[in-house]
Chain A
Amino acid sequence: MNHQPDQYYIQKVLEGDINAFSILVERYQNLVYTVVYRVVKNKEQAEEVAQDTFVKAYESLAKYRGEAKFSTWLYTIAYRKSLDLVKSNKRLITSELIEEINEGDIELVTDALSYLQEQERKKIIAESILKLPQETAVLVTLYYFEEKNIKEIADIVGLTADNVKIKLFRSRKKLYSILKHYVLPEISNKNGRAI
């Protein structure tokens, strides 16, 4: 029953069937929440912003022309709302952990990760993504998890496609640099020298 395309439910909502919107909410809540959470980096606030995102989407649904995918449009709202909150919080979350990392270190990190229990590994990776700068965290989520293409991502975050590519390129080292602090703390604490 719930396997119709987004446009079908959008049309129903526009015709006055409010409950049809709940299917769209169910469909996208996790991803919208994830994008928001990775920007605002706080669960309670993320939940509020994600809620606002859906309410805002509902209000502006008539303005949605279907030029972009519904999900892209929704993430654009979510991303803007998250940035608004971050701005009003004046909480500029910069990651101090990011430092230069070479391919050798990346191998070490991958190796160390492979020894961890699945649950723990998942937790560490999720936390590392959260520690990425806001924009990078969103780019990484949309590109690698949601598998949006560069152009869609560029629309969502308001950057040029080339800029998105560059940032995605740099995100790899950033992510490994953070992961290194989790899985190889003794190396990073000693300024790169293992005991």
Chain B
Amino acid sequence: MEEQFNDVKRLVKEAGIERPSSGFSINVMRDIKRLNAQEPIVYTPLISKRAWFWIGTLIFGLVLSLAFLTDNNTSILDKIDLSSLQLKGKLINNPFKDFTLYKTTLYGILFFSILFFVQIPILKRRIDKSFSL
């Protein structure tokens, strides 16, 4: 085998080897140094055990409280004394009591919201572009 393949050996030797770009070893060492500098990422749950405990208690409490609520159409709000909110016999003033909505105002709000939604995709594209490499 050896002799017959000397020609292939000569060919392969002649072809030589490929060379990576000049910054190759610098890039490798940079990657390695970055690897060393990196703190290992420790998994931390988004919702901690403590939070889960309180969520659980809350849900459990709500479910339990169902048993104590009567099912005659009384609102829980009826039981709360709102008298403290009353000022001289009447409930908190409604500031919009005398407000009348004109058609012009309505059109204004409508156009404003349309323009607002038109802006979103434009702004989004702009931001995407400025953050892309």
| Interface set of A (CB-CB < 8 Å, partner B) | 18-19, 21-22, 25-26, 29-31, 33-34, 37-38, 46-47, 50-51, 54-55, 58-59, 106, 110, 121-122, 125-126, 128-129, 140-141, 144-145, 165, 168-169, 171-172, 175, 179
Contacts and interface: CB of A to CB of B under 8 A. Distances in A.
B21 A21 contact: no
B8 A29 contact: no
Contacts of B16: 122, 126, 145
A26 B25 contact: yes
Nearest to B6: A144
Contact of A33 (B12, B13, B24, B36): B24
Which 7 pairs of residues, A with B, have the shortest CB-CB distance? Answer: A144-B12, A125-B15, A126-B15, A33-B20, A34-B17, A25-B25, A144-B9
Main secondary structure of the interface of A (DSSP, over half): helix
Main secondary structure of the interface of B (DSSP, over half): helix
Contacts of A33: 17-20, 24
A176 to B, nearest CB: 8
A31 B35 CA distance: 24
Contact of A129 (B12, B35, B36): B12
A25 to B, nearest CB: 4
A145 B24 contact: no
Interface of B: 1, 4-5, 7-9, 11-21, 24-25, 27-29, 31-33, 35-36
A145 B13 contact: yes
B35 A58 contact: yes
Contact of A51 (B7, B11, B27, B33): B27
Contact of A55 (B9, B12, B17, B32): B32
Contact of B8 (A126, A165, A171): A171
Contacts of B1: 165, 168-169
A60 B129 CA distance: 39
A171 B5 CA distance: 10
A30 B17 contact: yes
A59 B35 contact: yes
B15 A129 contact: yes
Of B1, B14, B29, B32, the most chain A CB neighbours within 10 A belong to B32
B14 A125 contact: yes
A54 B32 CA distance: 9
A51 to B, nearest CB: 5
B14 A55 contact: no
A140 B17 contact: no
Given A30-B18, A50-B20, A169-B1, A25 B9 contact: no
B36 A18 contact: yes
A19 B29 contact: yes
Given A126-B18, A141-B17, A169-B1, 16 more contacts: A18-B36, A29-B20, A29-B28, A30-B18, A31-B17, A34-B17, A46-B20, A47-B21, A54-B28, A58-B32, A58-B35, A106-B7, A125-B11, A126-B15, A129-B15, A175-B8
